[in-house]
Amino acid sequence: MYNLSSTAHAVVQHLKQHDTTTPTRSQVLELLAAYLGYKTYTSFKADTAISEEKLKAAITDRTSAYKRLLARLTELKLPTSIVGLLENSFVQQLQVANLVPTISLLRIARHLGISAAGTRLNAKETKAGYAFLRNSEDPEAVLLRYVWQRQELDDSLEEDDSSLSGGSLYWYEQRQAGVPLSAAASEWANSYERQLVANQQEQTLIQAYSCEQIARPLFSDVIQGKREPNLCWHLHASHLLYLIDGSMLDKMTDEFIYDWECLAVLQRPSHESLVELVAGLNDDVEVWAWYMFGLSQQIDITGSNYWLVNSDTGAEWDEDGPAMPDGYDGIELPKISEAENNVAKLIAQRMQTLMSLV
């Protein structure tokens, strides 16, 4: 039998470091057993056929393990808001106990270059990591699978970039019609055909994914303390938005894109990006929270930003030629109560902490 006592103790100590409800050690044991696929801790202890392989298999599907954990929290009448923090702690401690796959999603993200502290997986780890992503329906794993396949496709297209230029639809259609072509015309037709293949590969990739499958930061819930940050908060949000190109964008909801845009602004704030984001907010408390967050980064979004441009060319004015002002106004802060101001302060402080995750 595997002993979960030390793991449960470590989880309790980890939870005590956060300003949240901390289950008792016995409750954590029940939650650990549920996460590992058992109805109760008693049934876990009674399983004489238990093995490391069996435990790994139970938690390889993170989505199912998460649902079991959430259900057990409800049964124990514990707040479901701690499910994310609990799961992260479980994964961390079970890795120490060698009960989960040794290649974490964060390591794979670093291997892909979309998270800080980049690392490279060796050949064996790369194969195992890709196999894990390919077989998992967990939203975080699906996100990494899309990134991995997107990067592979982009790399192959970049290698073939020279062969994808100079294509001719006319000569391609002539060849399809059976018209004999010269060597030069055949090359134009070949190049156009390669473009068609590349476009089809891209469309196949895009059609395989939707925003319902892919993890997102759940930005508002996290900054308000309703849930703990998921893997998305450890990734470069602006790069993820770049990988969701124009075609993929058509399949993404405004809420999905906005979620990632908020995280991108939080990770790399600028006066312009903050003003643009806050100008679209309808929640006065959030407006103040972003204002306070900006001040912590030496950015005052109430200030306007104007400069001179050449009125003929639109380029920045260099003291030569006609000039006109260009720029944007700052944010006019709404009036809020003292209680709302205190909430905004807490959100802003949480945002300052969260921006350091990547």
Residues 41-89: pLDDT tens digits?
Answer: 888 887 766 766 677 777 777 788 888 999 999 999 999 888 888 888 8
Determine the distance from the C-alpha atom of residue 333 to the mean position of all C-alpha atoms in its chain, rounded to a whole number. 30
Nearest CA to 235 among 255, 210, 216, 213?
216
Tell me phi and psi for residue 202, to 5 degrees.
-65, -45
CA 133, CA 140: separation in Å to the nearest integer? 9
**pTM for this entry:** 0.65
Tell me phi and psi for residue 309, to 5 degrees.
-125, 160
CA 204, CA 146: separation in Å to the nearest integer? 12
How high does pLDDT run on average in the chain? 85
CA 278, CA 282: separation in Å to the nearest integer? 9
Kindly report, residue by residue over 206-265, the tens digit of the pLDDT: 777 888 888 999 999 999 988 888 889 999 999 998 887 655 666 788 899 999 999 999
Tokens 């954590």 map to which residue?
28
CA 350, CA 146: separation in Å to the nearest integer? 30
CA 278, CA 290: separation in Å to the nearest integer? 7
HSE on the CB side for 237, CA within 13 Å?
Answer: 28
